[in-house]
Structures are given as structure tokens and as C-alpha cells.
Structure 1
């Protein structure tokens, strides 16, 4: 019974690793097909016209959201694996040491996440510094290209109307 559970755990771990690989194999098969066709063309005489291969689909750009989603899925899968292993060990179906591989995998994953967060922070800071430097350069360039303003000197007038003066007169008198 314990060997069956151990085999089941091995299958579960490999499924976690292999299923994403199987889902991404379309792009890899086109690369392998190209390599095989290239080798077969080199082996044959180059007198024949090479068979045109279809262009592979362009890879989608990896966005920050997809990276975070991938990290979240891995963390969830490894945590579920550790919890499952702990339950199986607690029921006494397998020896205690079977919880060690999933725990080590989860700890390594969390350590890599910690490094990745530091790298993401450094990348964001570098981008912010680059934007600030560009804005400063643009501002300095704008200041240099503008013409200085003309300063007009205001001369005080001697005949200033004072409404509280003793010799007040109406407008038009």
C-alpha cells in the first residue's frame, strides 16, 4: 500500500512539471521540425529546392500579469502538494520522510520568489530613474530654447488720482 502511494506522489509531482510542458509543446515542435528539416537538407544534395516551412506563430509578449499569475499557480500547486503530503503522512500511509521533497521544492520556490521580487523592485526603480532623467532633460531643453521675457519698467506717475484728497472734483469738470 505504501509503495502505491509513493508511486502516486511521484506521478503527481511529474504531472505538475509535465502538463505545462505539454501545453507549450506547439512552439517547441516547430523548432524541432525546423532543425530536422535543416539536417535532412544538409545531408542531401543542395541541388533540390528546399521545402518551405510554415512560419511559427509569434510568441506572445510576457506581461507582468502573466508572470505574477504563473508564480501564483506554482505557489498554489506546491502548497497543495505539501498539504497533501502532510495529510498522507499524518494518516500513516507513508513514512515521515515523504513530506521532505515537496517541502524542499516549496522552500526553494519561495526563495526564488524573494529574489524575483528584489529584481522586480530594482527594475522598477531603474525605470523610474530613467523616466525622471528623461523628464529633467526635456525640462532643461525646454528652458534653454525659450526666449527670455521682456522686462518693462513701470515709472510712477505724478498725477495720481486720490479719492480722499481735499480738492476732489467730479469726472469731466
Structure 2
């Protein structure tokens, strides 16, 4: 019975990792599209015989879908889902252990996963705080610079206008191809 619970716990841990990856995976057509792009970019074989090109080449290969930009709300939602899942797994493992269906060490993997996740969350919160403080400092610096620029009196235009010189075309324009010209030394 305890080996069945162990296998169940392993399946549950892998489900927490693999199910989100499976839900986010590329569609089958996107995978085939990438494969076709890769094959079309490969060079010909080094020998003199070119490879045979298949008769059925798709007319238009759709471009892969661009990835959506990750917003702060999606990151927070992902962290919340992962924390909830790991907490539920830990509570389930403890309940199975408390009921006597499994040994005590069955709770170790979920507890380690939850502790590691919470440690990563702590680091992420510190990085988020540092990023917010840097953005606030940059905004304060821009506001200070704008205020200083507004307070500084703008110089009035006291420069004299430039003198405009009219160019008169010269009558004797040098033409290197004229018949009466000679090279130096002739």
C-alpha cells in the first residue's frame, strides 16, 4: 500500500510541473511549421548531387504565433497558482501520513518543493522592490530636471543675423576638357 502512495505522490509532483507545460505547449501545426522552416534553410549536401525536392511543398507556411507579453498580473497569477498547488500537495501528503497510509518521509518532497518556491518568491519580491525603487528614482530625477529647466531663464536671442554674401558667377570657369587647355609639362 505504501508503494502505491509513493507512486501517487510522484505522479502528483510531476503533474504540478508537467500539466502547465502541456497546456502552454506549441500547437502541432506550429511544430511542423518550425520543422519545415528548418529543413528549407539547411544547405545542400556537399557532394555534386542535389537533394531531391519533394513534389508537395506547402504554398504558404504560416509564421509562428508571437508570444504574448508577460504582464505583472500574469506573473502574480502564475505565482499564486504555483503556491496554491504546492500547498495543496503538502497538505495532502501530510494528511496521508497522518492517516497512516504512508510513512513520514512521503511529506519531504512536497515540503522541499514548497520551501524552495517560497525562497524564490522572497528573491522575486526583493527584485520587484528594487525595480520599483529604481523606476521611482528615475521618475524623480526626470521631474527634478524638468523643474530645473522650467526655472532656468531662457536666453533671449541677442545674436546678430549672419551676413548674406551674394555669389556672382565668374566668367572664366575652368573646364578641364576644353580644347585650349594643356597638361602641365606638355
TM-score range normalised by the length of the shorter chain: 0.7 to 0.9
**2:23 is equivalent to residue 15 of structure 1:** no
Residues 17-166 of structure 1: matches in 2 within 5 Å? 17-26=17-26, 30=30, 32-41=31-40, 42=42, 52-146=60-154
Return the alpha-carbon distance in structure 1 between the equivalents of residues 39 and 67 of structure 2.
26
Return the alpha-carbon distance in structure 2 between the equivalents of residues 35 and 56 of structure 1.
8
Q: What is the TM-score normalised by the length of structure 2?
A: 0.69
Return the alpha-carbon distance in structure 2 between the equivalents of residues 78 and 68 of structure 1.
15
Return the alpha-carbon distance in structure 1 between the equivalents of residues 117 and 93 of structure 2.
17
Q: CA RMSD in A?
A: 2.6
Return the alpha-carbon distance in structure 1 between the equivalents of residues 84 and 110 of structure 2.
12
Aligned to 1:156: none
**How many residues get paired?**
147
Return the alpha-carbon distance in structure 2 between the equivalents of residues 104 and 87 of structure 1.
17
Higher RCO structure (Cα 8 Å, ≥6 apart):
2
Contact 1:27 / 1:57 at 8 angstroms: preserved in 2? no
Q: Counting helix residues as a fraction of each chain, which structure ranks higher?
A: 1
Return the alpha-carbon distance in structure 2 between the equivalents of residues 96 and 84 of structure 1.
12
Query: Structure 1, residues 95-148: CA drift from partner, whole Å, max 9, x if none?
Result: 111100000000000000000000000000000011111111111122225579
Q: Which runs of 5+ in 2 are unaligned?
A: 45-49, 157-186
Query: Structure 1, residues 32-85: CA drift from partner, whole Å, max 9, x if none?
Result: 434422342226659968864212222222111111111111111101100000
**2:6 is equivalent to residue 6 of structure 1:** yes
Q: What is the TM-score normalised by the length of structure 1?
A: 0.74
In 2 relative to 1, CA 73–29 (structure 1 residues): closer, same or farther, beyond 3 Å?
farther
In 2 relative to 1, CA 28–65 (structure 1 residues): closer, same or farther, beyond 3 Å?
farther
